[in-house]
Structure 1
Amino acid sequence: MRIGLVGFGFGGQKFHLPYIQAVPDWEIAGVVTRSPQRRAELAAAAAGVPAVDDLDALIDLGVDAVVITTPPQTRRELVLRALARGVHVVADKPFAPDAQVAREMAAAAEQAGRLLTVFHNRRWDTDLRTAAEVLADGAIGTPWRAVNRFDLDEPGTLEVGPAHGLLRDLGSHLVDQMTHLFGPVARVDAHLDLVEVEGHQVDAGFVVALHHASGVHSTVSASKINHLAERELVLWGSQGAYTSRMRDVQTDAILRGEHPATAADWGREQPERWGVLHTADGARPVPSAAGDYAEFYRRLHASVAEGAPLAVLLDEAIHTVEITDAARLSALEGRTVELR
């Protein structure tokens, strides 16, 4: 089946193209980019794949699905146009600036009879996959609490504007990770680190407390301008705890020039950085699971070709936007926000 990329910036190049290439069931039909530099980069990364000027030109090449990787403020228009043209759509995160727009796009997909999903690829992060195995094994008993922290030393990449901010960006991933592990969220408390950039108040950091309907309490946090680069994932349960400080394994490998289609033992952390399980029997390292963002595209193909369930359901993606909406409201009004 044929798939096209709309946009070829850092995300298109590093988080989408290599993982589509790693799934032989997909043929890359073309990429939308007008930049001469991006077109040269495309020729180097995917020889023979044509570059076109816009979404309609891409669809005219003949595609089953398109991936929208352009900036957030362009998301709605491009998703709606692609659905109207009759193709399946993958939207990058943040899915929408608010839940109302997310529901509008979901309704358009239903009306068009086409699949719409969101690239919450960090469900397949190495640390999260390992933590999911710890939970599935019952190693810590009944889960009680979790902390999920992802600090970045990238002040120059903070996006500004009404559709931007770190909460909607990286926060979408961290929230999705926690709902993926512990289920829907009933209420939210949040704090935002607000800074003024180019005349806009934008969140450069956040802490969000999620009260899951399952009874688990999780906290997600991140920063981008504080010159701190660390990851931390901690789980507490009735029989013990699990701690992890694994790196962003797949992204690090991509930036080293490795490729998921050819690298050996893709997506595993080195033993010296494995997480640690703490129980009455003592502390022991837990071998790294294999993270693999290509799984998103394998499952997308199965959904389009065979009618299998999507890896990221629209209701889940909308709930993530509802949570980030609630977090922003909680921070700005200084109160707990309950979700329906």
Structure 2
Amino acid sequence: MRIGLVGFGVGGRLFHLPYLQAATEWELAGVVARSPQRVAELAAEAPGVPAFASLDAIIDAGVDAVVITTPPATRRELVLRALQRGVHVVADKPFAPDAATARELIAAADRAGRTLTVFHNRRWDTDLVTLRSVLDSGRLGRVWRADFALEQDDRSVLAQGPDEGLLRDLGAHVVDQLAQLFGPVARVDAHLDWVGAGDARVDVGFVLGLHHAGGVHSSVSSSKGARREDRRMIVYGREGNYESHMSDVQVEQLRAGLRPATDADAWGVEAPERWGVLHDGSGPTPIPSLRGDYTEFYRDLHRAIATGTPPAVRLSEALHTVAVLDAARESAISGTRVEVAATPGS
């Protein structure tokens, strides 16, 4: 199948192109990149892959699917247009600014009879797939609560505006991760760190308390610009706890010049000194890193389209994540605990 990439900023270059190149099930038909700088970067990263000036132009060239990875404010219009043109669509996160818009996009996909999914690639983070293996082993017993953090000292990407914000950005990823691990979220307590005012007001940090319907409580914090780096996953259960401080290893490898298509043996595996540790009745046990690989998102998408089955990231799950983020914003503004609106399939 042929796929087109719409947008070639940091997300397109780092989080999509390398994995599309590694997913041999797909032929990359082209990239929508208009500025001379982006076109030059495309030529360097993917020699021979053509640049197109618009979504319609790349669809006219013949594609089965497109990936929309442009800024959030442009995403709704492009997703709707691609579905109208009859191609399958991957929408980058945040899927939508609110649940009402998410439902609009889902309805458009239903009318078009095309697959629409959301790039929740961090389900294939190295630390998350390793944690999932620990939970599946049952060694923690009944899980009570979890503590996640994604603190980043990076002020270069703090875009301001009503469609921006760290909650919609990293928050979308980590809420999806926690809902995958512990089930749907029923209630939210939230605090947001704000900068700016008026239309330029934006959240640059958050703390969420998520009350999962199954009884687990998870807390997650994130910040950008607070001069702190911390990545942690701690899960507490009846029989012990598991603590991980792994790095964002796939991104580090990309920035070091490695690629999943050419460095498969080393790809997505954390160094032993950063392995997570399980504490149970037998004492502390380092848990070897499993392999994380975002390429699996695109392999799964190909299987779903080829077989007519839902992709791994289902629209009901993506809608639930947006509903949780809606509840979090309402909680932070009102200072109260907020119930999460019911979503189909959640």
**Range of TM-score over shorter length:** over 0.9
Q: Which residue of 2 aligns with 1:318?
A: 319
Does the 8 Å contact 1:160/1:197 carry over to 2?
A: no
Does the 8 Å contact 1:243/1:276 carry over to 2?
A: yes
In structure 2, distance between residues paired with 1:198 and 1:325: 19
In structure 2, distance between residues paired with 1:16 and 1:197: 33
Segments of structure 2 that go 5 or more residues without pairing to the other structure are: none
In structure 2, distance between residues paired with 1:198 and 1:213: 35
Q: Which residue of 2 aligns with 1:308?
A: 309
Name the amino acid aligned to 2:235. L
Name the amino acid aligned to 1:314. L
- The verdict on how the C-alpha distance between 1:267 and 1:88 changes in structure 2, with shifts beyond 3 A counting, is same
Q: Which residue of 1 aligns with 2:289?
A: 288
Q: Which residue of 2 aligns with 1:4?
A: 4
In structure 1, distance between residues paired with 2:148 and 2:158: 20
Q: How does 1:1-340 map onto structure 2 within 5 Å? A: 1-196=1-196, 200-263=200-263, 264-339=265-340, 340=342
Moved over 3 A (4+): none
In structure 2, distance between residues paired with 1:308 and 1:268: 30
- Structure 1 residue 265: Cα displacement: 2.6
- Structure 1 residue 7: Cα displacement: 0.3
- Structure 1 residue 117: Cα displacement: 0.3
Range moving further from structure 2, 305-314 or 90-99: 305-314
Task: Provide TM-score, normalisation by structure 2.
Answer: 0.97
In structure 2, distance between residues paired with 1:336 and 1:234: 23
Does the 8 Å contact 1:129/1:290 carry over to 2?
A: yes
Name the amino acid aligned to 2:315. L
In structure 1, distance between residues paired with 2:317 and 2:106: 11
- Structure 1 residue 110: Cα displacement: 0.2
* 1:272-293: CA deviation from partner (whole Å, max 9, x where unpaired): 0000000011111000011000
Does the 8 Å contact 1:2/1:64 carry over to 2?
A: yes
Percent of aligned positions that are identical: 63
Q: Superposition RMSD on alpha carbons, in Å?
A: 0.9
* 1:205-260: CA deviation from partner (whole Å, max 9, x where unpaired): 00011100111101111000101111010000111000000000000000001000
In structure 1, distance between residues paired with 2:46 and 2:201: 39
In structure 2, distance between residues paired with 1:197 and 1:31: 36
In structure 2, distance between residues paired with 1:247 and 1:151: 11
Name the amino acid aligned to 2:80. L
Could you say what secondary structure the match of 2:48 adopts?
coil
Task: Provide TM-score, normalisation by structure 1.
Answer: 0.99
In structure 1, distance between residues paired with 2:26 and 2:303: 11
* 1:10-56: CA deviation from partner (whole Å, max 9, x where unpaired): 00000000001101110000110101111111111111111010000
In structure 2, distance between residues paired with 1:198 and 1:94: 22
Does the 8 Å contact 2:162/2:199 carry over to 1?
A: no
- The verdict on how the C-alpha distance between 1:189 and 1:198 changes in structure 2, with shifts beyond 3 A counting, is closer
In structure 2, distance between residues paired with 1:48 and 1:80: 29
Name the amino acid aligned to 1:201. R
Segments of structure 1 that go 5 or more residues without pairing to the other structure are: none
Does the 8 Å contact 1:205/1:222 carry over to 2?
A: yes
In structure 2, distance between residues paired with 1:290 and 1:158: 30
* 1:120-139: CA deviation from partner (whole Å, max 9, x where unpaired): 00000001000000000001
